[in-house]
A and B are shown apart, each in its own frame.
Chain A
Amino acid sequence: MKLFKLNPITQKRLQRFRRIKRGWHSFLILAVLVFLSLFSNYLANHRAIVVYYQGNFYFPTYRFVEAGTFGQVDKWGFDDVETDYAALKEQFKQEGKGNWVLLPPIHFDPYESDFTYATAPPNAPDSRHWLGTDSQGRDVLARLLYGFRISILFALGLVLVTQTTGTIIGSLQGFLGGRFDILSQRFIEIWSALPFLYVVVLIGSLPYIKRGFFTLICIYALFNWITITYYMRTEMYREKTKEYCLAARSFGASRRRLIFKHLLPNCLTPLVTYTPFMIVSAIFALTALDYLGYGLPAPTPSWGEMIDQALQADNRDKLWLVLSPFGAISITLVLVTLIGESIREAFDPKQYARYR
């Protein structure tokens, strides 16, 4: 299958995309952010990345290492508990025996409450928590980071599922036409008229369905596959009447060959140009659902939940709670939108279509 072979047209489009600076730079920034977020465990974690102790290396982010290993006990004298790596680092430094601890840049994980302050959380940003803590004393930056990872992975997963199903169904509609097209099109019209939010709430309240990442993707996918079918359907309808397709049929090409070798490669433009905007709407949708409380279950770090917190009556003067998630959302959505616009510009079909 040479579906994704780079032919000169694609190469030219890529070149043009790289020349549109705002899109290309947004893409680079976003790529770095997504890449970093995949390593959130090393960026925000209450455990150390590496501990060097008496000639041995320990990697506590991978496996729980009890405090006793390093000769540490908690205030009640237990040694089989979680190690306090910050204290351990201080201790090693004072001892000066060549042992060391490598802590993540943010040494709090997104579920950990920090009650060491004199005042009740939320606490304002300081050198310990760069973006402050939320109303349960959790580090806002750590939650922002993990929230970003979840949002992006959710969006990518959702887009993968919806674009695949949508492309398959839309292409079949356009390719087969006739009765299948008419019936499925009527079904799509009815299906797309269902009020999405009610259905999500309804499904969320069913007893046997556990709310979670994959359930949510499935529910969203049930409604989001429709958009791309419209485009793929029309693309197929147009392309299949072109003479190169007739030529292939005239020497007896199979349907599979027609679809995969001739039609789909020529129908991919809307798929590519719409995907970034689908990502935007997916991130936005997850945030909205989390805000309403029907998204991911409670302790999961998510932007919607953070906004919800920020908008509670007694948090309205805590600017760091509002600005952090809103800032993160705005920046992400602007980046993805810029990428999407640039791709659309780079793929402008008018450049290659010949209307004759």
Chain B
Amino acid sequence: MTARATGSNNTAYHGHHKKPLLSIRELRKFYPIRGGIFSRKLADVKAVHDVSLDIMRGETLGLVGESGCGKSTLGRTLMRLEEPTAGKVFFEGNDLANARGRELFALRREVQMIFQDPYSSLNPRMTVGEIVREPLDIHKIGTPAERREKVSQLFDAVGLKPEVRDRYPHEFSGGQRQRVGVARALALGPKLIIADEPLSALDVSVQAQVINLMVRLQRKLHLTYLFISHDLSVVEYISDRIAIMYLGRIVEEGLKETIFSRPMHPYTQALTAAAPIADPRARRDRVPVQGETPSPINPPAGCAFHPRCPFAAPICSQTVPALQPTNTPGDPGHRAACARMHEGLWG
């Protein structure tokens, strides 16, 4: 029930009559590599390459990809922790990617982030109470007494006793710290939460607690999640929809069920096939993926996946395939970027 609790929104999505909460359009984040005496730009690290995505109100979008594919950079660019090179990000009609000053400051209340490492994401020199209160201080919300009360509520909401507010982060376990991180992200009452691998630094048993907490909070507070992870089983559990990223580009997006049962991109196919199944007798046909991830500085021409793709054809190295509707029955939002996806070579 947990993961599907938000499923009702999918109907809205299918019907296309609900506006997305966040619309990413052609977002690009390149890191210049400079060298020489005059710091000429030699090349770019194309961390996020023209990404377009919609996140619907109330849903959880899982963003999956191997390490270095740009998924964390995408999250940080959305948070404006990195300045986007180009593109637009609409949050309820406001361009988050190009907002400045007061406008950006106001938008920051709506979008918050849960960080990966609960050990470094909390300032060791502040008490957890101060940490959770800080967003309220910065946005000057309420009187000191009201802030105190709000912090107590937040601690309560994430399953921590409010009495621990005067303790320091090092006195907590990893799971408790991540709860503090969640409480801090909730402090300003955001609508969208970007969770950047929030579980990968935690023990498996603790992962389950934190993920259930996130699902519970989503239902209670009507939150929308962008859930960034490399762990397919976690993403399968929490997401409504999944987007697959490879070398800075989205290669496929669709409903969770579609991604797992009818992947249209060979990379998705390989990823889902590589995910472990909790049944030792289960056997699957695996599509082998050869080689290593190419450099994002000089991505291969055409489809970035073609050097590793078992189905690569000459066309794959010539044109960059666009993200196109796959016409999957029951999932009109299913899109994939593969030139040969309709040839029925896999799946």
Contact = CB atoms under 8 A, between A and B. Distances in A.
Interface of A: 7-9, 242-244, 246-254, 257, 261-262, 265-266, 352, 354, 356
B168 interface: yes
19 contacts: A8-B168, A8-B170, A9-B168, A9-B170, A244-B121, A244-B123, A244-B124, A246-B113, A248-B134, A249-B81, A251-B109, A251-B138, A251-B187, A251-B188, A252-B105, A252-B138, A261-B126, A352-B124, A356-B119
A265 B125 contact: yes
Interface in B300-329: none
B79 interface: yes
B108 A266 contact: no
B135 interface: yes
B157 interface: no
A354 B201 CA distance: 13
A250 B138 CA distance: 11
A266 B125 CA distance: 7
Given A7-B125, A252-B139, A246 B168 contact: no
Nearest to A262: B123
B76 interface: yes
B104 interface: yes
Contacts of B80: 250
Contact of B76 (A246, A252, A354): A246
Interface in B62-107: 76, 79-81, 104-105
| A-side interface mostly | helix
B228 interface: no
Contacts of B81: 246, 249-250
B201 A247 contact: no
Chain B interface: which size bin?
Answer: 20 to 34
Contacts of B139: 251-252
A4 to B, nearest CB: 11
Contacts of B13: none
A9 B138 contact: no
Contacts of A261: 123, 126
Contacts of B336: none
B168 A243 contact: no
A65 B311 CA distance: 106
A251 B139 CA distance: 8
B122 A244 contact: yes
Contacts of B117: 243, 356
A342 to B, nearest CB: 22
Contacts of A352: 124, 170
B251 to A, nearest CB: 27
Contact of B108 (A9, A251, A257, A262): A251
B112 interface: yes
Contacts of B116: 243
A356 B201 contact: yes
B38 to A, nearest CB: 12
Contacts of B256: none
A241 to B, nearest CB: 9
Q: Which of B105, B112, B115, B124 has the most CB of A within 10 A?
A: B124
Contacts of B126: 261
Contacts of A266: 123-125
B120 A7 contact: no
B112 A250 contact: yes
A253 B168 contact: no
B80 to A, nearest CB: 8
B184 interface: yes
Contacts of A9: 124-125, 168, 170
Contacts of B76: 246
B150 to A, nearest CB: 14
Contacts of A354: 119-120
A344 B64 CA distance: 44
A171 to B, nearest CB: 16
A247 B115 contact: yes
Nearest to B115: A243
A16 to B, nearest CB: 15
Given A243-B115, A265-B125, A253 B201 contact: no
A175 to B, nearest CB: 15
B108 A252 contact: yes
Given A250-B81, A251-B188, A244 B138 contact: no
Contact of B120 (A243, A253, A265): A243
Smallest CB-CB A-B distances: 5 pairs: A243-B121, A244-B123, A243-B115, A251-B135, A252-B108
Q: Which of A243, A257, A356 has the most CB of B within 10 A?
A: A243
Contacts of A253: 134, 138
A244 B134 contact: no
A291 B191 CA distance: 70
A313 to B, nearest CB: 57
Given A247-B184, A249-B81, A266-B125, 4 more contacts: A247-B121, A251-B138, A261-B123, A354-B120
A253 B81 CA distance: 12
Interface in B166-188: 168, 170-171, 181, 184, 187-188
B105 to A, nearest CB: 5
A235 to B, nearest CB: 14
A227 to B, nearest CB: 25
A16 B105 CA distance: 43
A114 B284 CA distance: 103
B125 A250 contact: no
B120 A251 contact: no
Contacts of A246: 76, 81, 113, 115, 121
Nearest to B187: A251
Contacts of B105: 252
Contacts of B108: 250-252
Nearest to B127: A7
B110 to A, nearest CB: 11
Nearest to B79: A250
B170 to A, nearest CB: 7
Contacts of A251: 108-109, 112, 134-135, 138-139, 187-188
A8 B79 CA distance: 32
A9 B125 CA distance: 8
Contacts of B79: 250
Contacts of A8: 168, 170-171
A290 B126 CA distance: 46
B24 to A, nearest CB: 17
A262 B199 CA distance: 24
